[in-house]
C-alpha cells in the first residue's frame, strides 16, 4: 500500500516503508491524488517503460536531486 508522508518538508510517496517518489513544490494535493491512484491500481501496477523512458527518468531524477540540494 502506498502512503504520503513528509520527508524534510517535502511530500513523498512511500510503499512498504521505502520512498518511491518525492513531489516537487510541496504539492500535497497532487501527492495524495497520486497515492490514491497507485493504491487503486493494485499491489503491483504494470508500468511499461522502454529504455528511452528510463533514461529520461534518470536524467530528471538527477536534475531534481541537484535542485533540492541547492535549495
**Per-residue pLDDT tens digits for 43-70:** 665 667 778 888 888 888 777 776 666 6
Q: What is the mean pLDDT of residues 23-43?
A: 83
Q: What is the DSSP string of 27-57?
A: -HHHHHHHHHHHHHH-SS------HHHHHHH
pTM: 0.56
* Mean of per-residue pLDDT scores for the chain: 81
**Counting every residue, how long is the chain?**
71
Amino acid at each position: 500500500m502506498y502512503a504520503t508522508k513528509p520527508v524534510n518538508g517535502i511530500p513523498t510517496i512511500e510503499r512498504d516503508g521505502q520512498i518511491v517518489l518525492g513531489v516537487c513544490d510541496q504539492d500535497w494535493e497532487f501527492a495524495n491524488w497520486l497515492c490514491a491512484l497507485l493504491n487503486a491500481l493494485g499491489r503491483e501496477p504494470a508500468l511499461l517503460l522502454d529504455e528511452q523512458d528510463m533514461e529520461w527518468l534518470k536524467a530528471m531524477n538527477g536534475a531534481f536531486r541537484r535542485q533540492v540540494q541547492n535549495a
